[in-house]
Structure 1
Amino acid sequence: MDPLPAHGAGPVGTWLLRDLPETIETATASLDPQDGDRMEPDGVMVDGTGGVDEEIRSSLSAVPCAVQDARWLTPDQQIRLVAVASLITGAARLLAEDPGTAITTGELSRM
């Protein structure tokens, strides 16, 4: 993929060019198969996060809306940004729901 053009002025452009790559890097480094869905000793179910905290998940979920405001990106670049954000979010959810299967069947590596 060609690098994103640097002329995307404004808050959306700054977020896409600087903050989003850092968020994706942090999310990828944070993936944790130990942070799965679980039951607490008191019987309360807790949704695991796959190692990705709420702030990062929230940022990744904003990508589809943000790229709509980035008219300086080509449609291909917009789709790729949405795909990457979706894959990272999906990898974390996959690890949270079923880490053993995700790892042993290669689902995680395919993502």
Structure 2
Amino acid sequence: MPTGLAPSPVGSWIREDLPEAIERAMSGLDPQACDRMDPGGVMVDGTGGLDEETRSKLVFVPCAVQDALWLTPDQQIRLVAVASLVTGAARLLAEDPGTAITTGELSRTWALVDHAIV
């Protein structure tokens, strides 16, 4: 990413809030926060450890990069890819953590993240 981000609300958000949201999401991933039944027998959607505020920030990335005209299209798509992959990792853990881990789905997700940030 260029070092001289344009001074704007979007620039500040990309420079400060987005990295914090990605870090919070990745450090909070939790296979125990999976889909389950509550004691009353009602199905509860798991979060995979991703809190709602962080999830909201990550799903906003495709909108934010459209206003980040100083970023190249390659840089913009890389930001979108990382946010999407981190959100997807949480969903994998929420839906079926055992399968996501044992079949390599989660490992493949991290390989894609690595590719997007290189």
TM-score computed with the length of structure 1 as normaliser: 0.95
Matched with 2:100 is 102
- The answer for the alignment partner of 1:55 in structure 2 is 53
The within-5 A match list for 1:1-111 is 3-111=1-109
Equivalent residue letter for 2:82: V
Amino acid at match of 1:12: V
Distance, in Å, in 1 between the alignment partners of 2:73 and 2:92 is: 28
Q: Secondary structure at the match of 2:48?
A: coil
Identity, in percent, stands at 73
Number of residue pairs matched? 109
Q: Distance in 2 between matches of 1:49 and 1:68?
A: 28
Does structure 2 retain, via aligned residues, the 8 Å contact 1:48–1:97? yes
Give the TM-score normalised by structure 2.
0.90
Deviations 1:80-100 (A, max 9, x none): 000000000000000000100
Deviations 1:37-68, CA, capped at 9 Å, x for gaps:
01101011110000010000000000000000
Task: For 1:71, give the aligned amino acid.
Answer: L
Q: SS in structure 2 opposite 1:33?
A: coil
Q: Which structure has greater helix proportion?
A: 2
1:61 maps to amino acid? V
SS of 2:92's partner is: helix
Q: List, as ranges, runs of 4+ consecutive aligned residues in structure 1 with deviation greater than 3 Å.
A: none
Amino acid at match of 2:18: L
Where does the alignment leave 5 or more consecutive residues of structure 2 unmatched? 110-118
Report the RMSD for the aligned CA atoms in angstroms.
Answer: 0.8
Conservation of the 8 A alpha-carbon contact between 1:95 and 1:102 = yes
5+ residue gaps, structure 1, are none
